[in-house]
Amino acid sequence: MRRKKGTLIPIEVSILQAAVDLAMAGQAQFHGFMLAKEIKDRDGAKLLTAHGTLYKALDRLQRWGFLENEWEDPVVAAQESRPRRRFYWITPAGQAALAKALAADVSTANLQQQPGPATS
């Protein structure tokens, strides 16, 4: 998908929105699969977000400072006999970017709902 300058593409908005939803549900830190599941449940999608799409977007959001991340302590993962998780959380800059993207969406939707000029 081609990006308009200074805007977020839908997968990035979905990730930030899911991050906020998870934080409000008491899960401020999340890993990739948890996020994919949250997006699927929220959007009512049939499929989980593809690996490439999800992790590429996470990488970008993190480089822009909208998400922070930290690898889990390997000892904890070893105790639970599973691979190490990489936890992400949304930053204030990410929240601001999300708010801006949602506001832009609302104003676009409002413009589309307005009746056009009479052409008769």
Partner 1 sequence: MSARTGRGALDLATSAARAWTAFYTWRLPAEFRDDRRSEIECDLWEHREFARLVDEPAWRTAAGLVLRVVLGMSADLSWRMEVAAIGHSADRSESMNPESNVVRALAWCSHILVGLLALASLGAIITGTAAGDASWAIMGGVPLVASVPIIYGLSRSASRQPLAIILVVSGCLAITSFWYWLFMFTIPASAGLIALSYYRGKRGGWRTGTPKLSG
- For partner 1, the binding residue among 18, 36, 90, 101 (CB under 8 A) is 36
Q: How many residues bind partner 1 (CB under 8 A)?
A: 23
**Per-residue H/E/C for the chain:** CCCCCCCCCHHHHHHHHHHHHHHHCCCCCECHHHHHHHHHHHHCCCCCCCHHHHHHHHHHHHHCCCEEEEECCHHHHHHCCCCCCEEEEECHHHHHHHHHHHHHHHHHHHHHHCCCCCCC
Nearer to partner 1, 14 or 49 (CB): 49
Residue 44 zone, left/alpha/beta (φ > 0; ψ -120 to 50; rest): left
> How many residues would you count in the chain?
120
Instruction: Please state the closest distance from residue 9 (CB atom) to partner 1, in A.
Output: 11
52 binds partner 1 (CB under 8 A): yes
Pick the piece of the chain touching partner 1 (CB under 8 A) from 15-23, 46-54, 91-99, 101-109. Answer: 46-54
Nearer to partner 1, 62 or 95 (CB): 62
The site string for partner 1 over 68-87 (x = CB under 8 A, - otherwise) reads: ---x----------xxxxx-
Nearer to partner 1, 3 or 117 (CB): 3
Pick the piece of the chain touching partner 1 (CB under 8 A) from 2-10, 28-36, 93-101, 106-114. Answer: 28-36
